[in-house]
Amino acid sequence: IYSRGQKTKDFLKECDVVFILSYVGQFLGNEDIEFIKTILPTEGVQKAIIVGSKFDSGLLDYKERETTFEKALRNSFINFSSHAKLTLKKMQENSEDFNILRDLQKSVDKGESPIFISSLLYTCAKKLENNQLLSDEENNIINRMKSRFSGFEATSEFLLELANIDNI
């Protein structure tokens, strides 16, 4: 929507940092890449942080069956981070020398970015803390995680840590 895009562009001029939210199932797709390459540099954005959303869905897409949660978590993190690194490297090769691309690449190389989050697991954790019932969708995700991965815990502490929202 043009008006929303224009409002975003106008607001970018006032930002100290931009969080680029990208769904891990289609992590750093064409729209994200174009935004980073064309919009951020022209609007004077100096710092950006890549955030991989719906990390719970990315974990459930993990290819290996009959595995531990720890292994799936570690390998998913590595795979998504490697994808970000390769994508940014290609962007730098095919773009002018923008500082923001170099800084994004450095943050990925240092392991500072991308940051992976799950708002659904965060909501589940908060509901469990407050003894509230989970929705059907939330129950479905939790039950799939439990049945899919040995070592997955459906406690509020475990889910909060996995959600990673507090680190943002």
CB atoms within 10 A of CB 4: 8
Report residue 43 CA to chain centroid gap.
23
Structure confidence at residue 118 (pLDDT): 97
Rounded CA separation 64/10 (Å)? 44
Contact by Cβ (8 Å): 139, 123: no
Percentage of the residues of the chain whose pLDDT score is greater than 90: 47
Beta bridge partners of 49: 19
Q: Interior CA angle at 9 toward 108 and 97, to 5°?
A: 45
Average pLDDT, the chain: 87
Residues 34-62: tens digit of each pLDDT: 788 777 777 777 788 889 999 999 999 99
